[in-house]
Structure 1
Amino acid sequence: MARIVPVFPIALLAALPGCSNSASEPDDVQRISLAEARHAAETPLPSPETEGAGWVVSENGQAIHFGQPEEPPFLTLSCNLRTEPAQLHIIRHVTGRPGQKALFPIIGNGTISRFKLDAALVDGEWRWEGAVPARDPKLDVFTGSRELEATLPGGGSLAIAGSRIPGEFVNWCRAGGRVQQAQAKEQEEAEGREAE
């Protein structure tokens, strides 16, 4: 039995590649290279200079700021006593972009804690912020008086000199608010050393 093989006219096959309606192609076609289309990674920020930086209690007593005197802070801890339980907010003052999230490890006082931070727009400032219940054991990283190192991916690393202020602040927030005395004690000690 003979097999029948369909035969396409050669003219039809030759015409197929040329079938295009030039009227349907956009007039404003722009060609770009793939190398140009790739998003370049942002350059990581350098670690800020923290020599001479210290902790200062805010005027309302609801926050402490770590930074250079008379300059915007590098790091803020604020306590919200109106929530139940009280919450401690960790704010790293480095520009972020909407939707970004990061883990913010802090090492010190025999502890390594990692806090989840989100980029947030607050009072016209893009910054990294996260909140945890004041009783969260991760906050124990602040409760000693030794040096801390806090690193934000792409935002540099903060070398924080040892101080009793963050520990007292965390305990104050956990206790629902009481008078802070660590800043006054540290100032007295510093003045005593200068007088010697």
Structure 2
Amino acid sequence: MSRVFFLVPLVLLSACKPPASDEYVERSRIAPITEGPSEPMDSPDTTGAIWAPGKRPDRLLYGKPGDRPLLAIECIHDAQTSRVVYTRFAPADPHAKAVLALIGNSHVSRLKIDATETNGAWLWQAETDALDPALDVLTGARKVEATVPGAGSVILNPSRLPGDLIERCRAQAAPAPEASESPAPSPPKGRA
């Protein structure tokens, strides 16, 4: 019986205070509260959307005439490289990284694409070497589906303009053939 009286104060004492782990979680956060990713966007309606030249040479915009563009591609050429910059005009979470999946013209390509801050807004943008075979998906005359996770799929209606731009960009990237002033020496002949 004396054991029971001895245990009663211990039981009462333990009932007064919650377990340490619960108290710790209430007093301080283990990890900071962060906002989750943005809600996924619906895929835009691309009925009547077309490729059109931009204000800068070697830039194409894709969208419905009179509306904001959905996608852009541009050839950037300098002394050492030619590259294609591609932009998906859709809101992106700051510093996010994703893959632009392109399906069409008998190709499936995946290009990296990152959230890039432009004039205070975060958009999806990246670039690749003009000679990258992943761009072949845009060089045909059939429709292409371009998808960025969370930014929906954009159906790129058939057009020769993207392929023409990429081929011009590739031509600038290719080294000029060197003119040979003298014929190449012939290999030495073996003894008979």
- Amino acid of the structure 1 residue aligned with 2:122: W
Distance of aligned partners of 1:123 and 1:41 in 2 relative to their CA distance in 1, 3 Å threshold: closer
Q: Normalization by structure 2: what TM-score?
A: 0.71
| Deviation sequence 1:42-87 (CA, Å, 0-9, x none) | 4321111111110111122131110111221100001111262211
In 1, Cα distance between equivalents of 2:76 and 2:96: 24
Which secondary structure does the structure 2 equivalent of 1:175 belong to? helix
Distance of aligned partners of 1:83 and 1:47 in 2 relative to their CA distance in 1, 3 Å threshold: farther
Residue 119 of structure 1 corresponds to 115
Ranked by relative contact order (alpha carbons within 8 Å, sequence separation 6 or more), the top structure is 2
How far has the Cα of 1:13 moved from its partner?
Answer: 4.8
Count the aligned residue pairs: 158
Identical-pair percentage: 34
Provide the aligned C-alpha RMSD in A.
3.0
- Amino acid of the structure 1 residue aligned with 2:123: R
Residue 136 of structure 1 corresponds to 132
For structure 1, the residue ranges without an aligned partner over 5 or more in a row are 1-9, 21-28, 31-36, 178-196
Equivalent residue for 1:158, pick from 130, 145, 154 = 154
Distance of aligned partners of 1:38 and 1:121 in 2 relative to their CA distance in 1, 3 Å threshold: closer
Residue 95 of structure 2 corresponds to 99
In 1, Cα distance between equivalents of 2:112 and 2:43: 20
The 8 Å contact of residues 37 and 93 in structure 2, kept in 1 or not, is answered as no
| Deviation sequence 1:88-142 (CA, Å, 0-9, x none) | 1111011001121111111111000011111111123311011110000000011
In 1, Cα distance between equivalents of 2:83 and 2:107: 20
How far has the Cα of 1:39 moved from its partner?
Answer: 6.3
In 2, Cα distance between equivalents of 1:85 and 1:70: 34
Which secondary structure does the structure 2 equivalent of 1:168 belong to? helix
Residue 74 of structure 1 corresponds to 70
How far has the Cα of 1:40 moved from its partner?
Answer: 6.7
For structure 2, the residue ranges without an aligned partner over 5 or more in a row are 1-5, 18-25, 28-32, 174-192
Distance of aligned partners of 1:95 and 1:83 in 2 relative to their CA distance in 1, 3 Å threshold: farther
Distance of aligned partners of 1:66 and 1:46 in 2 relative to their CA distance in 1, 3 Å threshold: same
In 1, Cα distance between equivalents of 2:11 and 2:103: 71
The worse-fitting range, judged by mean Cα deviation, of 80-89 and 51-60 is: 80-89
In 1, Cα distance between equivalents of 2:91 and 2:39: 13
- Amino acid of the structure 2 residue aligned with 1:46: D
Q: Within 5 Å, which residues of 2 pair with 1:1-196?
A: 10=6, 13=10, 17=14, 42-82=38-78, 84-176=80-172
- Amino acid of the structure 1 residue aligned with 2:93: R
